[in-house]
Amino acid sequence: MAKSYSIAVIGGDGTGPEVTREALKVMQAAAAKFNFKLSFTEFDFGAARYLRTGETLPAGAVAEMRKFNAIFLGAIGHPDVKPGILELGILLRLRFELDQYINLRPVRLFPGVETPLKGKTPEHIDMVVVRENTGGIYTAHGGATRVGTPDEIATQLMVYDRRTVDRCLRYAFELKRRRNASNPKYAAKPITLIHKRNVLTYCGDLWYRAFEEMGAKEFPEIKRDYNHIDAANMWFVKNPEWFDVAVTENLFGDIITDLGAMIQGGLGVASGGNINPTGISMFEPMGGSAPKYTGQNVINPIAAIGAGGMLLDTVGEHQAGAAVEQAIMATTPKMKSQNAGRMGFGTTEVGDMVAAAI
Ligand code: IPM
Ligand code: MN
C-alpha cells in the first residue's frame, strides 16, 4: 500500500493562504509522481481568528498538532495586531512546545534568479544555515525593574546548556556528512561555527568547545572553521562560496538568515524549516503575510513551494523533495523577476509551472 502522510496546514494571514495553495498543489503533484498519499487538514490560526476570539492558539491546539506528520505554515501577521502577539503566541509557541530545535535555512541561488551580489552565480551561493531554534535570547529569561523611571533596568539573557548546543551541532555535522557524500564540491568546504566568542566568553566558549570536541571525536573527516558573527556577515556578502553548512545560535541565526535570504534573491524564494528530527516539524516561506498584496495573485509562491519540498524530504520522501527543488530550478529561469507583481506570471501560474515540471 502507498505510504500516506497527514499534514496540518496553517495558511495564516494576508497572502499566506495564496502561497500555501500553490505549495500544496506542487506537493500533491510530487505525491502522485512518487506514489504516496498526502492529506491536508486546515487550521485557521492567525490574525483573523485572534481578532475575532482573542485566542492565538486555542486550548489543545499543540496536542492536536502532534497527531500530524508535519505542519505547513503560510504566514502570520496583520497590521491590526500589535507586533509580538502572533509571533509569540503561534510561531514561537509551536517551535518551543514541539521542540523544533533546528531552524534549517538553505541559502541557494536558483538559476535565473537575480542576486544583489555582483558577479556571483548559483555556483557561489549554495549553503545551508543551521540555526539553533529553542535557546539563547529567545528563552525569555530576564526582566525589567523600575520600569518607566530614569533608573529602569532590563535584562534579556542568552541561555544555553550543553545538551541544547550538542543536539544542534550533531544535526549540523550529520547534515554536513550527507552533503559531503553527495558532492565533492561540498566536501572541499568546511562546516563553519558562527558565534562571538571574543566577547561572549561564556556562551561562545560553550559552543566552541562543544563544536571542537564533537568534530574531532565523531566527525574527524569534516573540516572545521569558525567565524565571529560580525565577520561572517561580511563574508556572506563578499565570499559566499566559502560556506557550505554554517551552524549558529538562535539570535545570530535569525539575523544572518535574513542576509542569506537576500543574497539568494529575496523573500520570494527563501524557504525554512523548524525541525524536530524525532518529532513534528513545521515548514514555512521566510516572507511575511504581505497584506497589501492580498488577493491580487501577484505574490511569489516559490518560497512556499520550496518549504513544501523540504517538508517532503523531512518526512522521508527524499526523491520527492529533490524533485520539487529540480522543478523550482526548471521554473525560475522562465520568470522575469522574483519580486511580487513583476514575475511575468501570476501566483497560480507559477504554481502550475512548478507542478507541471514535477
Ligand atoms: C524568523 C522570524 C521569527 C524569529 C519572528 C517572527 C519571531 O523572524 O522565523 O526568523 O525571530 O525567529
Ligand atoms: Mn527572522
Tens-place pLDDT, residues 224-282: 999 999 999 999 999 999 999 999 999 999 999 999 999 999 999 999 999 999 999 99
Atom index in ligand 1 nearest the CA of residue 258 equals: 10
Residue nearest to atom 5 of ligand 1 (CA): 87
Residue-level pLDDT at 172: 99
pLDDT reading at 324 higher than 90: yes
> What does the alpha-carbon distance between residue 272 and residue 287 come to, in Å, rounded to a whole number?
10
Same domain, yes or no: 281 and 188: no
> What does the alpha-carbon distance between residue 139 and residue 142 come to, in Å, rounded to a whole number?
9
- The 10s digit of each residue's pLDDT in 116-129 is 999 999 999 999 99
Atom index in ligand 1 nearest the CA of residue 133 equals: 12
Same domain, yes or no: 59 and 104: yes
Same domain, yes or no: 182 and 145: yes
CA nearest to 78, candidates 10, 13, 9: 13
Residue nearest to atom 8 of ligand 1 (CA): 254
Range of the domain at 287: 1-114+265-358
pLDDT reading at 1 higher than 80: no
Contact of 313 with 271, CB cutoff 8 Å: no
Say which ligand is closest to the CA of 105.
1
Same domain, yes or no: 278 and 171: no
> What does the alpha-carbon distance between residue 94 and residue 262 come to, in Å, rounded to a whole number?
26
Same domain, yes or no: 187 and 222: yes
Burial of 147 (0-12, 13-18, 19+ CB in 10 A): exposed
Asked whether residue 124 is assigned to any structural domain, the reply reads no
Say which ligand is closest to the CA of 131.
1
Same domain, yes or no: 317 and 354: yes
Summarize the confidence of residues 137-163 as an average pLDDT: 98
Residues less than 5 Å from ion ligand 2, measured at CB: 254
Asked whether residue 31 is assigned to any structural domain, the reply reads yes
Regarding pTM above 0.95, the answer is yes
> What does the alpha-carbon distance between residue 23 and residue 20 come to, in Å, rounded to a whole number?
5
Ligand 1 site, residue 137, Cβ cutoff 6 A: no
Domain end call among 185, 212, 247: 247
Distance 194 CA to ligand 1 centre (A): 18
Give how many domains the chain has, as a whole number.
2
